[in-house]
Structures are given as C-alpha cells and as structure tokens.
Amino acid sequence: MFYDIFIAPFVDMVEAPDFLMQVLWEGLVSGILYALIALGFVLIFRSSRIFNFAQGIMVVFAALTLVGLYAMGVPAWICVILTLGVMFVLAVAIERIVLRPLVGQPDIILFMATIGITLFLIGFGEVIFGGENKVMITEELGIPTGSVLLEPFGGLLILEQKDITAVVVAALLVVGLLVFLNRTRMGRAIRALGDDPQAALSVGISIQTIWVLVWFIAGIIALVTGIAWGARAGVSFALEVIAYKALPVLMLGGLESIAGAIIGGLMIGILEKLFEIYWGQPLLGGNTETWFAFVLALIVLLFRPQGLFGEKIIERV
C-alpha cells in the first residue's frame, strides 16, 4: 500500500513524461475554465456581497443565445455582438426587477433572489431554445478545431487548437479585467463599492450603475466560458452543472479575490486531474474529480477560513 500511494504514482510520472504533460495540459485547460466561472462569482460578490448562484445558468443562457441567433441565420460575429446585447439587457433587468427592490435586505435574501433568477433562466431558456443539445459555432467564429501533435520525450502530446484558443482568450480576458478594475474609473468604482459601500456611496458612486456593470461583465465572462465549454461537448443545460465546480474554487481562493479565483481554478484543475490519474483511478476506482476539489477546499478552510487569498472579515459587535 505504501508503495502504491507514495512511490508508484511518481514512477509512472517519470516513466511516461509525455503522458504527465498531457495530464497537466488537460488540468490547465479545465482549471482556466473553472477560474473563468469563479471570476463571474467573485466580481459580483466583491461589488455587492451577493453570492450569484445564477452564474452557471448565465453560461448556458449566453451560449444558447449565441447558437440560437446563428440558427436564425444571423452571421456568427453579429451573433456575438447581439448576445452581448442580450446579456446587457439581462443585467439591467436583474438590477431593476430583482436587486433594486431588495437593497438593504440581508445577504441571504439576495442569495435566494439569485436562485430565483436561476430557475427563471432555466425555464425561460428551455421555452425559447428547447432542451436539445446544440452544436457550438466553433468554426464559424474562426476558432481552429484541429490538433497540434507534439512528441516530447519520444511520446505523444495532443493539444486541441480550440483548447489553446480557450486558454489564450481566457488569459487575455483576465488581463483585460485586471486592467479595467485597476486602471479605469469604473473599475476603481467597483472596487471601492466592494471595499466600503458607505464611503463609495458618499462620494457619488451609483450602486445601480455598478451593479448593472458587474452583472454585464459576469455576462461577458459567461459567454466566453459558454463558447469554450460548448466547443468541447456541445451546448446544453448540462453545462450548468459544471458551474458547481467553481464552488470549491471560491472556497479555496476566497470569495473576494480575483487572483484567488484564477490561482484557485488552476490549482483545482491541475491537482484534481493529477490525483484522478495517478491515485484515484488505480487505487479508488476513479471518478474522484466529483469530490476531490471539495475535500481540498475543506482542508484549506480548516486552516484559512477566508480561503487562500480572501480577506479576513472582522465585524464589530
């Protein structure tokens, strides 16, 4: 048993380094997509203290809108612009109809409201688009669909071009987001509202505008995530389930930290893949990805309740 746990996995890694590289690559791709979903949660939580349960269904809704518009004969890139428009309208509607009447209510009420948004979007999406699995318009968007075959250490490493594209686009999105939050007036306003809502309001920052903005940015992230995941296995309501994988990312990285979401996502993506391949499958019968991330997050919470990068919240009583 000692050998199987502590020696054999590392022997496997050394004996087949190309396979190890493949595992790391797959982990990186999954991780960056987890990080994207987690970013949507973090942005909204930072600015409004709302845990947005609807982020997963927003991914589905954005992807379905995109392929739905394309099915109506709209050119692919116009579909992207129109989908962004739909996500903006959704952000405005959520702020006006759901959030504004609940300003000042306890956090749990706002959280419950996002569950309501989830249920509404599921029903509305199914009525408009149907529940069938749809093909993502990958090639139409100019995303390459072939493979890059490399032969490191005399072995084989397969890199899907659409995965490479997803990683690059996600990285650009994260950089863009960081620049926006740190270098623009609106970005600083979002951070200010998250840091001290009362002070932010007192200097004239509009809570309504900021909420619309962060929900819209979460919508943009949802669209990018939907395209990336949809290109892998089609667009269906099953995509929503993947969003739950962002929960341990948030627990690990902290609810308020953009860096935490990114690093937490990458950590979980890579570690769960390594554990599954070298320990889970040989020793536990596989399918450890279902629980590994939660156990890892739980261990982190035992030592750092605020997550690896979260801020310790001290409330005066």
Q: Does 158 bind another protein (CB under 8 A)?
A: yes
303: exposed, middle or buried (C-beta count within 10 Å: 0-12, 13-18, 19+)?
A: exposed
Q: Does 137 bind another protein (CB under 8 A)?
A: no
Q: Does 244 bind another protein (CB under 8 A)?
A: yes
What is the C-alpha separation between 42 and 47, in angstroms, rounded? 9
Residue 206 Cβ vs another protein, minimum distance, rounded to whole Å: 37
Contact between residue 54 and residue 114 where contact means Cβ atoms under 8 Å apart: yes
Residues in the interface with another protein (CB under 8 A) total: 41
Task: Find the part of the chain contacting another protein (CB under 8 A) among 171-179, 203-211, 215-223, 234-242.
Answer: 234-242
- Tell me which amino acid residue 315 is: E
* Side-chain-side CA neighbours of residue 314 (13 Å): 0
Q: Please give the DSSP secondary-structure letter assigned to residue 311.
A: P
Residue 36 Cβ vs another protein, minimum distance, rounded to whole Å: 13
Q: Does 242 bind another protein (CB under 8 A)?
A: yes
- Tell me which amino acid residue 214 is: V
Among 4, 107, 132, 311, the residue binding another protein under the rule CB under 8 A is 132
Nearest CA to 242 out of 289, 186, 173 is that of 289
Q: Please give the DSSP secondary-structure letter assigned to residue 235.
A: B
Q: Does 144 bind another protein (CB under 8 A)?
A: no
Per-residue binding letters, 4-43, with another protein (x by CB under 8 A): ------------x--x--xx--x--xx-------------
Identify how many contiguous H helices and E strands the chain contains and give both numbers.
15, 2
Query: Hey, which residues does 158 pair with through a beta bridge?
Result: 149
Q: Does 229 bind another protein (CB under 8 A)?
A: yes
- Residues near another protein, by CB under 8 A: 16, 19, 22-23, 26, 29-30, 122, 126, 130-133, 135, 147, 158, 160, 229, 232-234, 236-242, 244-245, 272-273, 276-277, 280-281, 285-287, 289-290
